[in-house]
Amino acid sequence: MTPIQIILLSGLAGAACVTGARWRRNEIRPIAAATWILIWTFGAVFTVNPSWSTSVAHALGVGRGADLVTYISIVFLFFAVFRLLIRTERQRKEMTELVRRLAIDEQLKKDAEQNPPSANPHA
């Protein structure tokens, strides 16, 4: 086994352990944990058997397995960034709405304190 394989396998094993720990603490959903474990497993398999990624790459019309992994990674990262941007925008809108509601409620409370209703409703 080459030094780069040892480094990659160590990183992949660490990522799998972190994924498992986050799943056990209910920080990620089971489907997300399973998806990530599958990704780490494929990474480990292709790290141990790099000729397999080359075979898959050739079948897909790509020259080298490393190129295929790079292309797939770039597409995956762009998709992840896109999802994060959508989530961030949704959270920004929700935060704006929440702050707006809190400001209105606070103003109504101040108005009620400054102008208390009279004790005699017939006055």
Q: Are 43 and 36 in contact (CB under 8 A)?
A: no
Structural domain count, the chain: 2
Given a cut of 60, whether residue 123 has pLDDT beyond it is: no
**Residue-averaged pLDDT of the chain:** 93
Q: What is the pLDDT of residues 47-84, one digit of tens each?
A: 999 999 999 999 999 999 999 999 999 999 999 999 99
Residues 6+ apart with CB under 8 A from 20: 33, 37
Domain membership of residue 120 (yes or no) is: no
The pLDDT, as a whole number, for residue 121 is 60
Domain membership of residue 53 (yes or no) is: no
Q: What is the pTM of this model?
A: 0.69
Domain membership of residue 20 (yes or no) is: yes
The pLDDT, as a whole number, for residue 9 is 96
Given a cut of 60, whether residue 39 has pLDDT beyond it is: yes
Residues 6+ apart with CB under 8 A from 53: 46, 65, 66, 68, 69
Reference 53, options 44, 3, 8, 79; nearest CA is: 44
Which structural domain, as residue segments, surrounds residue 29?
A: 1-48
Same domain, 11 and 42: yes
The pLDDT, as a whole number, for residue 122 is 65
Given a cut of 80, whether residue 41 has pLDDT beyond it is: yes
Given a cut of 90, whether residue 115 has pLDDT beyond it is: no
